[in-house]
Structure 1
């Protein structure tokens, strides 16, 4: 119990009694003897039991909250066109430039890899292909942070750079 409740109540009252009048059977919220009118502060709605909410009603409410994306996009284009017009910018030219920029392919830089970095495989080049087929039972293909292909055994967690064969020992 909080200190301000302890200071206001009589120590002889039951701990579950009302903090205002000390009677068992109700709490301070519903006390008619108190000086605070909780119903006036919070309203009758705060003290009434709410009816049950069914799943079908929730689905209808959710559907009403959904945003019409096409309408929103149309309104956004209309707003952008008005802003461009106000600032003297050609809207159609701006859109064409944005579409060209949006569809430009991303180019990732190719880093040189030494044979030591590639796990000692011949040539020192990054393995690009990931031959998932023709692997012995229990083996899988993965790539490291530099996109190099390596192989690992699912059960033993053994990892190796070279493609396993049916004769590869699993320990």
Structure 2
């Protein structure tokens, strides 16, 4: 037994007894007579046994995460072949929804969306492009600090 335990214990207590009350049959962590309530400090979860993790569980999860390279290459070739034939759309852009004024009649033709300049065209004066954490491009005006997702053109108002 360590010296600090001997100094704090009554010498008449059994060496295998509780360090708090000296009784045999339990340890200090489960002592109901002591002043420290370990369950209150650490919670019941700290005293529960955890389920074991078997190697077969680890191997199964590793197998689920594996990528089938051959199948991936086959899918890529099929996509490239379909794209070359023109059966797939060139750009996967979402359709632009244009709001109509509340007083517009249903027979009036829907206004068309503004044409955006090509991606490689230079930005208007004072604008810069950056990418967010997910790799999406956003645009911001250097002096007004205005931020927007849509690519600005020369007509874009700066406020």
Instruction: Please classify the TM superposition score into its range, dividing by the shorter chain length.
Output: 0.3 to 0.5
**Which TM-score applies when normalising by structure 2?**
0.36
**Which TM-score applies when normalising by structure 1?**
0.34
